[in-house]
């Protein structure tokens, strides 16, 4: 059981484009995946990407069966996604207050496409090929951004809708935009 420290915004490793995994079944990749899960569960998160624990490889994990934070959200299968690609399938965008464990205490409104097609491989090298909508689609896009060296504040278009959680809380509850901790 290894809970790794989470890198925070400002760390240059979070701004790099991560490298493709050559061999998904290599022992160091299995170790990385174990560390990601240990760290994600310890922080009660629902998604985490390798660069957030200081490894610039294209590996991300996400999913939840039932979340206390999102009692009404449809479950997303627990997924290990390696070398992902994303194709946007709609021009419809939805706004959401995003938060990120690498940007603690801050929240901002990010608009993202509501439907995507994503592909990649799992930890056995087996293909993953899915259509995702809504929360699932947002989760994958947020984690994918980490692999590209992008943090959610870079996606905010109206910087007035960005701030410390306790300061923006009134806006969060009055404007009816959903909240997502990714």
Write out the residues near Ni ion by the rule CB under 5 A. 100, 182
CB of 45: closest distance to Ni ion in angstroms? 8
CB of 5: closest distance to Ni ion in angstroms? 15
Q: Which is nearer to Ni ion, 12 or 127 (CB)?
A: 12
Residue the block writes with tokens 């070398």: 83
Q: Which is nearer to Ni ion, 26 or 43 (CB)?
A: 43
Which residue in 108, 83, 81, 87 sits closest to 162, CA to CA?
Answer: 108
CB of 50: closest distance to Ni ion in angstroms? 12
The active-site residue, picked from 143, 148, 165, 167, is: 143
CA distance 49 to 54: 9
User: What is the β-pairing status of strands 179-181 and 93-99?
Assistant: parallel
CA distance 160 to 67: 29
CB of 23: closest distance to Ni ion in angstroms? 26
Q: Which is nearer to Ni ion, 40 or 100 (CB)?
A: 100
143 carries an active-site annotation: yes
CA distance 166 to 136: 26
Helix (H, G, I), strand (E, B) or coil at 160: helix
Residues contacting 134, CB < 8 A, separation 6+: 74, 94, 114
Q: Which is nearer to Ni ion, 45 or 113 (CB)?
A: 45
Residue numbers annotated as active site: 143
């Amino acid at each position: 059981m290894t809970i790794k420290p989470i890198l925070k915004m400002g760390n240059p490793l979070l701004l790099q484009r991560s490298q493709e995994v050559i061999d998904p079944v290599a022992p160091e990749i299995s170790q990385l995946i174990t560390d990601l899960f240990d760290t994600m569960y310890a922080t009660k998160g629902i998604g985490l990407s390798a660069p957030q624990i200081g490894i610039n490889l294209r590996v991300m994990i996400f999913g939840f069966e039932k979340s206390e934070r999102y009692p009404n959200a449809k479950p997303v299968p627990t997924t290990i996604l390696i070398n992902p690609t994303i194709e946007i399938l709609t021009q419809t965008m939805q706004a959401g207050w995003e938060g990120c464990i690498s940007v603690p205490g801050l929240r901002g409104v990010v608009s993202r496409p509501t439907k995507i097609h994503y592909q990649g491989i799992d930890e056995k090298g087996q293909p993953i090929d899915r259509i995702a909508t809504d929360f699932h689609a947002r989760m994958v896009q947020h984690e994918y951004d980490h692999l590209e060296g992008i943090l959610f504040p870079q996606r905010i278009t109206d910087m007035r809708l960005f701030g410390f959680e306790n300061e923006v809380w009134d806006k969060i509850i009055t404007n009816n935009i959903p909240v997502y901790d990714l």
